[in-house]
Structures are given as C-alpha cells and as structure tokens.
Amino acid sequence: MIKIYDIVQHKTNIKGFWLDNGKIYRDNIYIRQALSLNRRIKYHLFDYKKQIAIFYMQDNKAFILDNKGNKTILSHCIRYIENHITKKYIEALLIQHKGLTIYRKKGYYTIEIWRE
C-alpha cells in the first residue's frame, strides 16, 4: 500500500511547503492510499490536476516523481514535534531543507522533512 500526498483546494490539517527560486509555495494536502502508483493515478495528478510532481510514501521511504518521469528516493526522515510554530521558523527550515510537511494535531504540530 502506498500513501499519495494529493494537493486539494479545501483546507486540511496537512500542509506541504517547498522553496523554489526563493519563493515559498504552500499546499493543502490530503493523503490517499492506493495499491500502486498506476497509470490512471498518474494521469489524474499530472494531466488532469496539472501537478509538476507527485510525493508518495511506500515501505518507510518517500519518493518524488516529476512529470518527466524522474524519480527521487528519500530514505531519511527528520521529525520535529512543536507546540507552536511561526512563519519565521518555517522559513528557516525551508532555507535549510527546501521542503517540509506540517501535520496539525490537537495541541501540537508534527513537522516532517524527508532527505536523500
């Protein structure tokens, strides 16, 4: 089973942040489960939703598949548990790591950063 991090328009408790050419991007994320990253799912995310990359997890590893077919394997995960986070804190983490996911839970946040 894989977990696909799908970008959605409605607000969610999961936010994805990434830094590209000095600009910060933020997405609302909904995690979908599937048996595989098949052709139908790729079509839906790349062609229909116009995503430039798909982030997914399988077997305790994370993967980024771009719309040209290039795959990056991320096998190391850093997690921070915080009671409070600020925009400056997120910006500092993005400068260092280029991307992160924040899960908002009752009373705290989990920040997850995947690296090669």
Cβ distance 82 to 96 under 8 Å? Answer: no
Per-residue pLDDT tens, the chain, 116 aa: give them: 999 999 999 999 999 999 989 999 999 999 999 999 999 999 999 999 999 999 999 999 999 999 999 999 999 999 999 999 999 999 999 999 999 999 999 999 999 999 98
User: Which tens digits make up the pLDDT trace of 2-26?
Assistant: 999 999 999 999 999 999 899 999 9
DSSP calls for the chain: -EEEEEEESS--SEEEEEEETTEEEEEEEEEEEESS--HHHHIIIIIIS--SEEEEEETTEEEEEETTS-EEEE-EEEEEEES---HHHHHHHHHHHSEEEEEEETTEEEEEEEE-
pTM, 2 dp: 0.90
Domain residue ranges of the chain, discontinuous segments joined by +: 2-115
